[in-house]
Structure formats: structure tokens, C-alpha cells
Amino acid sequence: MNTLHRLGAATAAHPWRTITAWLLLLAALGGLSSTLGGALREDWNVPGTRGQAGIETIRDHFPDAGGASAQVVLHDDAPLADAVVGDVVDRLAASDHVASVTPRVSEDGDTALLYVRYDVPTTDPDLLGKTDGLTAAAEPAESAGYQVELGGELPATVGEFDGRGEMVGVLLALVLLVIAFGSVVAAGLPIATALAGLFAGSAGVTLLAAVIDVSPTAPTVATMVGLGVGIDYALLIVTRHVAQLRAGATPVQAAAHATATAGRSVLGAGLTVLVSLLGLRFAGLPTFSAFGFATALTVTGVMLAALTLVPALCGLAGRRLMPRRERRGRTEAAASAPASGREPLSGRWARVVARRPVAWGALALVLLVALGAPALGMRTWPQDGGSDPQGSTTRASYDLIAAEFGEGANGPITVVADLDDLTPAEVTALRAEVDALPEVAASTPAVTSPDGAIAIWDVEPTTGPSTEQTGALIDRLRDEVLPDGAEATGYTPVLGDISDLLAKRLWLVVGFVVAVSVVLLAVMFRSIVVPIKAAAMNLLSISAAYGVLVLVFQHGYGAGLLGVDHAIPVSSWVPILLFAVLFGLSMDYEVFLLSAIRDDWLDTGDAKGSVVRGLASTGRVISVAAAIMVAVFLGFATEHGVVVKMIGVGLAVAVALDATVVRMVLVPATMTLLGRWNWWFPGRPFPTARPAAQLAAGSAAADSDLAPAEA
């Protein structure tokens, strides 16, 4: 605490030095990111899976195959002109890195599906995030008045994030902060510092992209988390600072005290978030490691801004952080208000719960379990055009293909046969056996590689790529139909492998994050019971968030309000990513609340009373902080990308439950029941109340530390 105390005093006493240092840092990071930063790109490789092995085999024997793919759909109310379709095919074939173009025309002739294969993956710099070549090649069709839509792998990698989520979140947060503080200056300070930390983190993400592949979605998720925690961290410090101003402290004294107390909670909560993000390394996919690094950089940026820039701006703003009526001479009345004997609502509520802890705890537990129950039926799928919102070209392409060629045309399965293991006659017989399956609608002729080593052909299911039936078909092909030397691969099987891999790896990530977080909290609070209890409660709130996601997206309850017009599986990317982020975020309020309870327990030795007083002293600020974070996350739920919608909804639900059901009911109920055993630690006696003289001496020492800085 002494280090944080000195840091707060120094930055508040010399605010312009701190602000100048931050401006120079941001300028340097901006310059470095613009000159040395890399481009964002997906890494679709799934090491160790059967689908990835099949793709590598194709790449080895078909020099121009195994790269990215795309679909160009041409549609009109009348039959398409052969000359126009042929012109588009020729222009596509002449485009850079296009290995082949396979046209297919619907039975009524009004729709053409042009399947484009590239000789490089989507991560190639020439293709990265670009569909310009497809649009330019389709210009003759547009000139003829045809509807042109793009689908498949390459268009799916082009992000559709317009920044609306950030704008909505910031505006909602600003409104809540103005209401909470009654001062525009105090409301703007947390947002300004959060944005400064976000800029630093975003520049770091751009530099990270020069070293590893970073998904185009990663900065959006990092911004979502960084904006929420950045505003919250700053809010905690500003609130404590304003309280000290009302108590008569000078701005420098108030900033030092706020940084030493609330800053300790910020540091602990931030470290817990960072530790949780490390768990993404165990997801088994390179793209998840990039998600973790990107979000960790952003959280680090906003945490450092909260600990250094916030006290500097607080010192610079002085008493302008207080409402105008208090600055006009009513400060004394405002400061004496708490002494009127009226206990805060959160304290009175804590006493209600403490009187019947078993009943209230059971009620909260039943509610969380009921909300989490639908998660047992969660079905995951990474994402395809059918999950995209109405109005996007990928969704229009998906719908046209499904209507004209069947659902399965959106997700063909490629079969690879090794000709060292299978003769041409056996390949022919195998094709006939696969075609005879009731789940198969059609297939293409087999093509032999130039070196004669393998043969490949595409199989079109009767159902869409994200359906359970298509997944069952892939499993049946691999387990029952295809002999040794043959494999089912392609875009759809790889997505299925991703879903299966992440479902298995989820428990490894959960185990790592929970174990490390429990150890970290045990060190922070010198307790065994409190960390285990906190972890259990976090698991309950996260499970409830999963259940709500299933109800909203998989079952469609309220999905229309989010711009999702039909029920879709939960994205495979969401459960692991949501868990790692949420477990850390949930600890934010837990750390802040437990710090207040533990300090009171150490001061008074009253285990049960400290729960009530701790909840009373932190209730208002945590409620405001949670409301801001929920607003920010719901703001991101307005984005076009369905994965970001799911993450935004999941984070908002979990934080709301954590700040209400968990903090207001489960925490006081369980801590009241456990009493002093909350603070049991092996080999350490239960602490006793500090003598009043010791408390006074500690307070005087803290005040004396401020004298040099104030002078």
C-alpha cells in the first residue's frame, strides 16, 4: 500500500508531468504501431485434428489447392444470360491467386453459384481482409442488373464491426457517471483515462499482429473488455478520492489515499483478469492465444492508466470533481450526511440477508442453477453465413444457395483418398457408397492429383453446415464408411473439429483459471475459504450466463431484439473466451468487496458485522460500476457480428448477476454463516481487533506521508 500511496501522491502533486509522460507514451506507441504494426488476420489452422491433416494432404499433392475459397452468387428474377455468367467466370479465373472457378447453375437458370478456389490461404497478405477481386470480377453481372452476393470462407473473414458498440457503450457510461457523480468533470475523467488506456492497448495489439496472427475480432473483444474494466477501475479510484475531499482532505491527500486503497483493489482485480486470460493458451488453437494476448495488453493499458493518470487528473481537477452545490458552500452538510445515522440501502439489505442466511442463500442458489440449466443442452458451431444478420452479403449468399441448390451446398465435405492404399476401382466403389447415403444430396467427380498420389471429390449433404445432421454425417463417414487411407476434410469438417476441440479443451481452461485464481486470492486475502467460495460463485454466475445465451440464441427467446432473426447454435468461440474473460471480471467486484470486509474484520474482529459494514461501504460504487459495465457490454451487442453479440450479452448477464444475486445475496449469506472461518488460513491464528491507538497511529502515519508531496 505504501508504494501505491507514494505513487498517487507523486502523480497528483505533479499532474502535468504525468499527463505529458502519457501523451509522449501514446505518441510513441502510435508511431510504432503505424510503422511496425502488422495486419489483422485469422489463423484457421487446427493442429492435431483430422480435418487439418486432410487439408495438409491436399496442399502437399495439389500445388494450387488447399488455399482459401469463396462463393460468388449471381441471381435474377429471369434466367441468367450465359454470356454474362461466362464473362464473370473468366474474370474470376484471371484474378490473382485464383486456382480454379467451378460454375453451377440452378435448374430454373435464375441463379449461378461460382465456387472459387485460391492457391493461398486467407492469411496471405494479398487476400487478407479483401474481397475487392471478387467484386471487380462480378461487375458485368451488376451492370446487367443481377443481384451479386459473396459467401464462403474468404468473405467470412472480412470483419463487419463499425465501432457502433464503442460509441453506444461510452455514451451510456457517460450518462450513468453524470447521474452518479453530479459533476461532468468527475463523469468524464474515468472515460478519458479508459480511452487513453485503450489507445495504448490497441497500439500494442497492432504491434502484436506483426509477430503473430491476430484475429480481426480480437481488437473488438479487447476493446469491449478494456472499456468496461477501464471505466470501472477509474470509477473506484475517483469515488474514493471524492469521498476524501468531502472529509476535508486536500486533492493530493485524497488522490494518495484513493490510490493506496481503491488502487490496491484495482491492482488485484487487474492481475486476476490477466491470470484468467492466460488460460486461453490451453484452448489448443493459436487464435485463442492471440485473443488472450490482445485482451491482456488492453487490460494492462487501462490498469496503468487508472493507477497513474487518474490520480494526476484528480489532483489537477481539484474540487471540481464534486457537485456544484457542494462547491458552493454545502460541503460541510454533504460531509456530515453519513453521520446522520441513516445506513445505506446496501447495508440495510445485508442485515436482512444476515438474519436468514440459509433461506436467502438457498433462494439465490436455486435462481442461478435454474438460469444455468439450459446450458446442459448447449450446441456449438463456429459460425457460417446462416448465422450472419439480415442485410449482410454473406447471409444473402447463404440464403440464395440454400433456396436454389439446397442447404448442403453451403457446406460441402471434401473426401481425400490415398491412392497408395486404395485402387481406382475401390475409389469408384467408395464414391458410390457415399452417394447412396440418405444424408448425401450430390457429389462431384473424383479428381486425381498431378502426381497421381491422391484423389479428391466433394460431397454435398442434404442439411446445412451448422446442423446436428451434418455433424452426424461427418462422424459417420469417418467412423463407419471411409476406410483407412480416406479422410473427410474441407471447411465444414474443420469447423466441426474446432467445435469438438474447444468443447474438450474448455475443462482444461476452466481448471487452470480456477486453480491459479484461487491461489492468487489466497495470497491476497490470507484465506483458504474466501477464494474457494469466490471461485464457486463465479462458476455459478458464468453457468447462468451460458444458460441465458442458450435461451436467447439457440432457442431464439428475444433474439429478434438483437437483430438475430432465427435460432442459431452458440458460437464455438464463445464458451472458452467468455469463461476466461468473465472469471477475471467477476473477481473485480469480489476483490473490492472482500477488501472492505477484510479491512473491517481486521479493525474490529467482528466477523459478521464486517460483512454488513463492508457491503454498506462498497454497495453504491459497485452498483454504479456494474451498471456501467453492463451498459458497455450491451452496447457491443448492437454490433453486426453475431460472435460479438453473444459475447456482449454473456458478459452483461454475468456481470449483472454477479453484482446483484451473488454480491447482494450469496456473499452476505455465506459469509454470515461461516463467520470467522471465512478468514481461516493454515498455520495462522485468527486476527484480533486492532487497538484504537494502533489505528490512530496508522492514520497519522498515512497523513504524514502526504506532507512532503503537499508541500
Please state the domain count of the chain: 4
* Residue 477 belongs to domain with CATH number: 3.30.70
Residue 108 has what DSSP assignment? Answer: T
- Name the DSSP letter for residue 611: H
- pLDDT tens, residue by residue, 379-431: 888 777 777 777 788 889 989 999 999 888 888 899 999 999 999 899 999 99
Task: State CA 351 to chain mean position distance.
Answer: 36
In a domain, 692, yes or no: no
Residue 117, domain CATH: 3.30.70.100
In terms of domains, do 141 and 203 share one? no
Task: Please indicate, yes or no, whether residues 143 and 210 belong to a single structural domain of this protein.
Answer: no
Task: List the alpha helices (DSSP H) in 182-250.
Answer: 184-208, 218-246
User: What is the C-alpha to C-alpha distance for residues 406 and 460, in angstroms, rounded to an integer?
Assistant: 9
Q: Is residue 54 part of a domain?
A: no
Please name which of 606, 696, 644 lies closest in space to residue 166, comparing C-alpha atoms. Answer: 644
CATH number for the domain harbouring residue 237: 1.20.1640.10
Share of the chain above pLDDT 70, in %: 89
- pLDDT score recorded for residue 705: 33
What b/e readout covers 361-391, taking b as 16+ CB neighbours within 10 angstroms? bebbbebbeebbebbeebbbbbbbbbbbbee
Asked if residue 303 and residue 250 are part of one domain, the reply reads yes
For residue 703 the three cell numbers come to 497523513
Judgement on whether residues 181 and 33 belong to the same structural domain of the protein: yes
Helices 642-657 and 574-604 sit at what angle, rounded to 10 degrees? 20
- Identify whether 699 is part of a domain: no
Domain identity same for 244 and 359: no
- ∠19-22-26 over CA atoms, to 5°? 140
Identify whether residues 533 and 675 lie together within a single domain.
yes
d(Cα 311, Cα 241) in Å, to the nearest integer? Answer: 8
Question: Is residue 350 domain-shared with residue 452, that is, in the same domain?
Answer: no
Average pLDDT over residues 350-354: 83
Is pLDDT above 60 for 194?
A: yes
> Is pLDDT of 183 > 60?
yes
**Cell numbers placing 396:** 444473402
- Whether residue 21 is contained in a domain is answered as yes
Please say whether the dihedral angle defined by the alpha carbons of residues 619, 625, 628 and 629, taken in this order, is positive or negative: negative
Quick one: pLDDT at residue 684? 67
Q: Check whether residue 115 and residue 178 sit in a common domain.
A: no
Answer yes or no: is 452 within a domain: yes
- Which among 128, 156, 184 is the end of a domain? 156
pLDDT at 659 exceeding the cut of 80: yes
Q: How many residues does the chain have?
A: 711
Q: Which of 156, 171, 189 is the last residue of a domain?
A: 156
pLDDT at 701: 36
Which domain covers residue 81, as residue numbers?
Answer: 64-156
**Residue 522 in domain:** yes
Q: When comparing pLDDT for 307 and 130, which is higher?
A: 307
Does 502 fall in a domain?
yes
- For residues 439-444, give the mean pLDDT: 91
- Contact by Cβ (8 Å): 421, 484: yes
Reported as a pLDDT band with limits 50, 70 and 90, residue 158 is low
470 and 582 both lie in a single domain? no
For 363, the enclosing helix (H) or strand (E) is: helix 357-372
Q: Among 257-266, 322-331, 363-372, 541-550, where is mean pLDDT lowest?
A: 322-331
Residue where a domain terminates, one of 140, 156, 172: 156
CB 397 within 8 A of CB 73: yes
635 in the same domain as 499: yes
Q: How far apart are CA 455 and CA 190, in angstroms?
A: 61
What one-letter code names the amino acid at 278?
L
Least confident window among 39-48, 252-261, 571-580: 39-48
Lowest mean pLDDT among 225-234, 325-334, 528-537: 325-334
Residue 165 has a pLDDT of: 63
Looking at the structure, do residues 654 and 641 belong to the same domain, yes or no?
yes
Q: Are residues 529 and 624 in the same domain?
A: yes
Residue 77 lies in a domain: yes
